Amino acid sequence: MDSLVDFLSAKSVDKTIIFEHLKCNKVEAKMLQYLAKKYMKGEDDVLILDILQELYNADEYEFIKYLKEIKNLLELGWLHQQSFTPIKISEVTSLELLNSSVGLSPSFLKLLQYGTLESDLPDIKPYSDHLEYLQDQFFRIELYQKISIIRQNVHEHSLGIDRVQNKLQLLERRIEERVEQTSEKLVLDKFFKQKKMDTKEQVIFIALLREEYSATDASLREMNALIELISLDEYERIKNRSLLEDGSNLINEGIIDYEEMLNPFGGISRAFFIVDEVLQSIIHPQKNKKVRRLKLNVLIDEQDIFELIEPETSLEDVVLNEKTEETLQTLMRQMDKEVVARLVEWGIKDKKSGIDARIIFYGAAGTGKTMTAYSLAKSLKRQVLAFDCSKILSMYVGESEKNVRKIFDTFYDLCEKTKSEPILLLNEADQFLGARSSGNITGSDQMHNQMQNIFLEQIENFRGMLIATTNLLENIDKAFSRRFNYKIEFKKPNEKQRIKLWELMLPSEAPYDEDLDIKILAKHTLTGGQINLIIKNTAYKVAVRETPIFSQKDFLHEILKEKDANFDSEKSMGFLNN
């Protein structure tokens, strides 16, 4: 308490122990000394008018010119208002303060007691567990909140804000040093690095995490409160809104989400929260290691309906007709999260419904329908659950209604258990989509119609992304055609595209004769699937020779065989770019 006694008894305040820490002039320090003496007599708050009249000439109104010193002490954080309705000091004139009461701030009382405001941080040592690490991170958020409050109430370059910012910098440096010394990976620190989150994103996340732990009134969940936390000025507040808008990294990566609510003024406010899966992995890291989400490849062996496909090629790897490629790119854009967000905003889509699309790929066999479906899935970062529709009658004779429903019920069940959104691929769907029989129909026709009716109902109510492939769109029942919102035609490749297909599909490491001319091979009208088969058949023939070299004659021979056989199979590779 030496600094307290020194300050109270000093005749020259500029000679006291604490004066260098005050960053104010002698007049202002004298006012603080006066209030400190009042405090020691039990007076917590004093009217500013009384302070000035007692210290300076009251008769000639000389005291009024000292109002600016009182305002400066408030801005420095040495005084605080004793009022139920505090005002922003930076926004009021000095005269408006005259009839308000002030008292010594906790910071000044601490300075009086200890003679310094510097915090003695503990020695740097490794974190014992992630909870100790969280404790420091939550204290970090408290400091961000203090800085935010000071910015809103005092001039931003005041000593008060400088002091808290200095403490924040010390803490953040200490956290970094302790993390470096901690041998065991800390869950939250590891998460930040995996997601490549910058400082502002980390602060938002920790603030929301602190709300989860503290179970407060959730004041920090509101969009403006979070933005205020990380913004220095109005420009930054505008700029930082992008961190919490649809399309931001935090939302796109499924780290945080929000709920929209009507506020008392009729507007809409957003309250943010950490996505439950992420939250549980942080709060219960050990439990997260033991309880893992079921994966499709684990469950797929338990059923006999779908084949699980892990796509290896994206849309950039597939050679397509220009119009088909253009349509697919439009489809991709319509599934972009920003576009979906607009549809949600306009009320066209439900926010939680995800991407819904029912698509038909139609065209001749071998034109790349199945491969494009796989590639589309890869571009959308989805897996594929494929069902071969040609098997439906042989598999389900006598139980068509029950088993058609089973296809979709099993699909939904797998999605729910794995919390994933695979694409449902119905290959060779002509069996389902063809025109229904009418007039004098047999029992077999009746069963087929019943199966199609159930299929029509399932398509109508389908939730997710479905792709059906078929050879002829003309044969599709009109009722089905209306249920698909995308119909994409696959045409046979033209000569230019066939040249590209030959170039891409020919094995790069194989030896070729000098007479090989791809342009001559591309003159022959073939699909991508046929070109792929011809190359494979030629390779088998060449590989057994003593001198294995691919020649023009070898390929032409296989082309003629292919044309004579009129091979046409959807199971071919399609337009693939390896």
Query: CA 180, 181, 182, 186: dihedral to nearest 10 degrees?
Result: -20
**Residue 75 and residue 150: Cα distance in Å, rounded?**
9
Closest CA to 68 of 35, 23, 24, 118: 24
pLDDT of residue 91 exceeding 70, the answer is no
CA distance 177 to 158: 29
pLDDT at 300 over 70: yes
Lowest mean pLDDT among 153-162, 257-266, 476-485, 499-508: 153-162
Mean local confidence (pLDDT), 3-18: 90
Alpha-carbon distance of 139 to 477, in angstroms, equals 65
Q: What tens digit of pLDDT does each residue of 348-381 get?
A: 776 555 567 889 998 888 888 999 999 888 888 8
| CA distances from residue 562 to 388, 443, 493, 525, 546 in whole angstroms, order as listed | 25, 40, 17, 11, 25
Sign, CA torsion 156/160/165/168: negative
Q: What is the pTM of this model?
A: 0.48
Domains and CATH numbers, the chain: 2-114 (1.10.10), 130-283 (no CATH), 296-490 (3.40.50.300), 495-565 (1.10.8.60)
What pairs with residue 268 in β-bridges? 262
Cα 315 to chain centroid, rounded:
23
Segment 38-72, tens digit of pLDDT: 999 988 889 999 999 888 877 778 888 888 888 88
Number of other CB atoms surrounding residue 244 within 10 Å: 19
Check: CB of residue 328 under 8 Å from CB of residue 372.
yes
What pLDDT does 575 receive? 43
**pLDDT at residue 443, as a whole number:** 61
